[in-house]
Amino acid sequence: MVERYIAVVMDDDGLQFCWDNSKAASNLDKHDVSFEAATYVFDDPMRLERDDVFAEREYRNVVTGWVDDTLLTVVYSSPENNLCRIISARPATVRERNDYEQNSLHP
């Protein structure tokens, strides 16, 4: 299996992001969310992070936060320090939105 990951963005916290280009394209078609836009979820100071309980074979995290006027949910892994491999990004579900709002009220 050939890996097609590329480092793309360095944000204010020194995080680097990478992803599979074909997965990014299919994610954009399916959810209308680019992985480039998804990197900004980490800029939300009230973002909600949790473990991905459905992950197999690797440790994954799920983060929900605001990017512009859209509440996004992003699944990612951290194969190295300060490197986030984005796996998927989509608008938050009603339940994720409720969890985010509850967390914002009671951090």
CATH architecture of 17-105: Roll (3.10)
The larger pLDDT score, comparing residue 3 to residue 37, is at: 37
**68 vs 83: CA distance, rounded Å:** 23
Residue 3 has pLDDT above 60, yes or no: no
**Cβ neighbour number for residue 37 with a 10 Å cutoff:** 16
**53 vs 55: CA distance, rounded Å:** 6
At 35-65, the pLDDT tens digits run 999 999 999 999 999 877 666 677 889 999 9
For the chain, the domains span 17-105
**73 vs 90: CA distance, rounded Å:** 6
**Average confidence (pLDDT) over 65-83:** 91
Q: How do 83-91 and 16-20 pair as beta strands?
A: parallel
**Cβ neighbour number for residue 54 with a 10 Å cutoff:** 8
pLDDT at residue 15, rounded to an integer = 85
pLDDT at residue 9, rounded to an integer = 53
Tell me the CA end-to-end span of the chain in Å, nearest whole number. Answer: 42
**Average confidence (pLDDT) over 15-40:** 94
